[in-house]
Amino acid sequence: MTKGAVRLKPTTSSVNRAVIALAVVVLLIAFVLFIAGVVLLHNKSCDESPKASALTHQHHDPKCRFSEEAMRVGLMPFLDKVKLYYYEYNRDKIVGHPDLEGERLREAKLSR
């Protein structure tokens, strides 16, 4: 530095303002992403209720159906078999069985 030059140092208040401005921008972006996530979760087009999937095993929306490859190799019957064995060997989880409700669920619980 030359003899007459004055070195400018950032003041504490300008640093504080910059930090606050950055924090506000980050919080604003986080809030927008949160709202977008809530809207996307709320507007799901697939019916994910256990009754609908248990009764039909297909959805009307193409992105919720099994792919051609999955249908070709028989993925749906395989997953049904896995579900059957899971609830057969984990009898304490029978309450979460998506295909049983009402009287059938009561009978399954009593047959333990």
CA nearest 63: which of 84, 87, 45?
A: 45
First to last CA, the chain: 87
Amino acid identity, position 65: R
| 3-33 pLDDT tens trace | 666 666 667 777 788 899 999 999 999 999 9
User: Per this entry, what is the length of the chain?
Assistant: 112
Contact present, 57 and 50 (Cβ < 8 Å) = no
CA–CA dist 98, 53 (Å, integer) = 8
CA nearest 91: which of 71, 110, 78, 75?
A: 110
CA–CA dist 3, 24 (Å, integer) = 41
In this predicted structure, what is the pLDDT of residue 42?
Answer: 75
| 75-103 pLDDT tens trace | 989 998 998 888 888 878 777 777 777 66
- Please give the model's pTM, rounded to 2 decimal places: 0.39
pLDDT surpasses 90 at 63? no
What does the block give as tokens for 42? Answer: 């709320």
CA–CA dist 85, 96 (Å, integer) = 14
Counting Cα atoms < 13 Å in the Cβ hemisphere of 27 gives: 6
